[in-house]
Amino acid sequence: MAALEPRIEAIANELLDQVEASGQLDLIQDLAYPLPVIVIAEMLGIPAQDRDRFKHWSDEITASADSLLGDSGAHGQQAQAEMAAYFRDIIAQRRAQPQDDLISALLAAELNDEKLSEADVVSLCWLLLVAGNETTTNLIGNAVLSLLEHPEEFARLRSNPALLNTAIEETLRYRSPVQFMFRVTKVDAELGGQTIPAGSMVMAGIGSANRDEAKFSDPDRFDIARDPNPHIAFGHGNHFCLGAPLARVEARVALTAIFDRLGDLRRANDDQLVPPKGFAVHGVKHLPLLFTPKP
């Protein structure tokens, strides 16, 4: 992560260069959305001109989580098929001509004398893209939104920038980008006096757990210095988020660039904010802001 940080900083600053003179930006479209896609696409070794297609696929697949609640999920399946075909193509190119990127490294990797199959590499690429993009976009957007809604906390952060890390953790708790995760019970399980039979699909409410008054004092308060902050925004246990360190660096770099360069940051209008597609994700689709460029 330390080695990646300067490149992430450069990307964030390039994105801000494009809007700085105008004194306004849509925080999501102009910074929070492109940043994680560019970072992961560069890590994987995806050509820059294909980035927009990625974002589209990743959005469709995330939104298709709604298929569990009755939506047909057809768009998600189509996006998944297109993305897999695209990766098979890149994999063939990297097999013929390895580059200094993650796809080439995955193709070269061996475990117990066995290489990963093409299907394994496709599914790993797919997982990294889908798991890491919209989640990180929403973390950055949710952090700025929460600070704008709590001007006293924003002022506190400005006067003590060392609180940035705890402010990011508090955003993860207060506005968890992933609100739900699914599990299937292996055995009968008892929870809150109820028995959940073995083999049941369980929807665990991460966002709700992160406001649990038995765990957090004053849970509905956004407190950028909250410590300890045992939130489960990145999950818990065996499947704890693989990308948590990357997401934290991206959020830190993006927020530092915003605060260093955009003065007097404020909402551009009072329009009702619209959530992104997909019931399990929490964020805003657009966040138009005005600012005064700092010298």
**Given the rule CB under 6 A, which residues bind ligand HEM?**
40, 127-128, 131-132, 135-136, 139, 177-178, 181, 206, 233-235, 239, 241-243, 246-247
Residue 200's nearest CA partner among 210, 188, 208 is 188
Q: How far apart are CA 247 and CA 236, in angstroms?
A: 16
Helix H, strand E, coil C: the string for 92-153 is: HHHHHCCCCCHHHHHHHCEECCEECCHHHHHHHHHHHHHHHHHHHHHHHHHHHHHHHHCHHH
- Closer to ligand HEM at the Cβ: 65 or 257? 65
Give min distance, CB of 233 to ligand HEM, in A. 5
Q: Which residue is nearest to ligand HEM (CB)?
A: 243
Contacts of 160 (CB under 8 A, 6+ apart): none
- Closer to ligand HEM at the Cβ: 104 or 142? 142
Give min distance, CB of 139 to ligand HEM, in A. 4
- Closer to ligand HEM at the Cβ: 62 or 136? 136
Give min distance, CB of 265 to ligand HEM, in A. 21
Residue 159's nearest CA partner among 257, 259, 27 is 259
- Closer to ligand HEM at the Cβ: 43 or 268? 43
SS3 category, 78: helix
Q: How far apart are CA 151 and CA 19, in angstroms?
A: 24
- Closer to ligand HEM at the Cβ: 206 or 291? 206
Q: Is 198 exposed, middle or buried (0-12, 13-18, 19+ CB in 10 A)?
A: exposed
